[in-house]
Amino acid sequence: MIFIVIKSLGLLVKGLLIILGGLAVHAYAAERTRPVFAIIDFFPFGYLSSEQNAEGMAFDIEKVLEKYSGIDIDGRLMSTPRALRSASVGQTDLLFSYKDDDMVPNVTWLGNVGCLVPLVVPRKGSGITSLADLNKRKRIGFVGLGYFDINRRHQWDLEPVVLNNNFLMVNMLSRGRVDAIIVNDAVLNAFTTRTDLIENVPEDWISNVAEPIHLASFETHISISNDSPFISLVPTLKKAIKKARKAGEFIKVFKKYGSPMGGYCYNSQELIEKQWLNLPMSNRD
């Protein structure tokens, strides 16, 4: 009898927590006067400059969206897991990410702004020359709740190392503490071409990098949470993205951070030829 009462009380408390959590989300949503754009703290998409200003590719995309929609948007820097989670549950409104319903559920996709290529970036001497080599208990660094974590990591018998900071990723790769890291071409190209924006990374880190291996090619989209109080703005935002894309605005943003073709969506042969790579041949195995 006591057990039944305790169990019932436990279920009641759990139910109350769920209800209160939902009320908290709706209360927070009601307080917002402009859409919140969740921007991942992951260079070059979002980062703090040496002057402690929030900057990056996604902030530039936010400005483009404001320009073409006339909507005042509140860009906020946050960790990758928090940004993905908050967009899905309606704690924030807008997100720039891969178009992937498994990674970011419960959103409406507003339009493609360019493509990115997720990569396995091995260190020299790691023994990783193909995806099959991940199946040898290799130490692989990747972002929690990101594409690789959600969709790919379980395909191989690897040793996961969850790292939500790519400066830490690069340092650990350079020092041999991981065998490879999972980033995309925008990240790798920004690290190799925008050295003026990078701090606390060994200058010769790239000399320790072997040939990157592509995993896929993804469209990147702006999305809006289906629980957003600004869901009525969907037609306006979709139209703004189309106009900005036609004007070449997103190409300029991608190229600013080292993308050789400005977020171009590569076909299968171009992926094999590594046309997305802005890395000197002298640094390849």
Q: Is the pLDDT of residue 228 over 90?
A: yes
Name the band, by pLDDT with cuts 50, 70 and 90, for residue 199.
confident
Strand partners, 46: 42
191 and 246 belong to one structural domain: no
Per DSSP, 19 falls in state H
State pLDDT tens for residues 123-176.
999 999 999 999 999 999 999 999 999 999 999 999 999 999 999 999 999 999
Confidence class for position 31, pLDDT limits 50, 70, 90? confident
**Residue at 37 is within a domain:** yes
Distances from the Cα of 239 to the Cα of 37, 68, 78, angstroms: 18, 8, 27
pLDDT > 70? residue 83: yes
Whether the pTM exceeds 0.75: the reply is yes
H or E segment to which residue 182 belongs: strand 180-184
Of the candidates 61, 57, 36, which has an alpha carbon nearest to the alpha carbon of residue 46? 57
**Domain region containing 240:** 32-116+218-256
When pLDDT is averaged across residues 69-91 and rounded to a whole number, the result is 97
Higher pLDDT, 231 or 1: 231
Q: Which two tokens stand for residue 68?
A: 């073409």
Report pLDDT for 280.
Answer: 56
Q: Give the C-alpha separation, 144 to 198, whole Å.
A: 23
Residue 25, domain member (yes or no) = no
Q: Are residues 50 and 75 in the same domain?
A: yes
- Dist CA 67 CA 76 (whole Å): 18
Question: How many Å separate Cα 96 from the centre of its chain?
Answer: 8
Enter the tokens of residue 118: 């997720």
Mean predicted lDDT score pLDDT of the chain: 89
Residue 50's pLDDT is what? 87
pLDDT more than 90, % of the chain: 82
- Examine the domain organization and report whether 134 and 66 are in the same domain: no
Evaluate whether residue 49 is within a structural domain.
yes
In this structure, is residue 26 part of a structural domain?
A: no
Confidence at residue 279, expressed as pLDDT on a 0 to 100 scale: 65
* CATH (domain of 86): 3.40.190.10
Q: Tell me, yes or no, whether 68 and 108 share the same domain.
A: yes
Tell the residue number behind the tokens 């703090």, with chain if given. Answer: 48
pLDDT band with cut points at 50, 70 and 90 for residue 27? very low
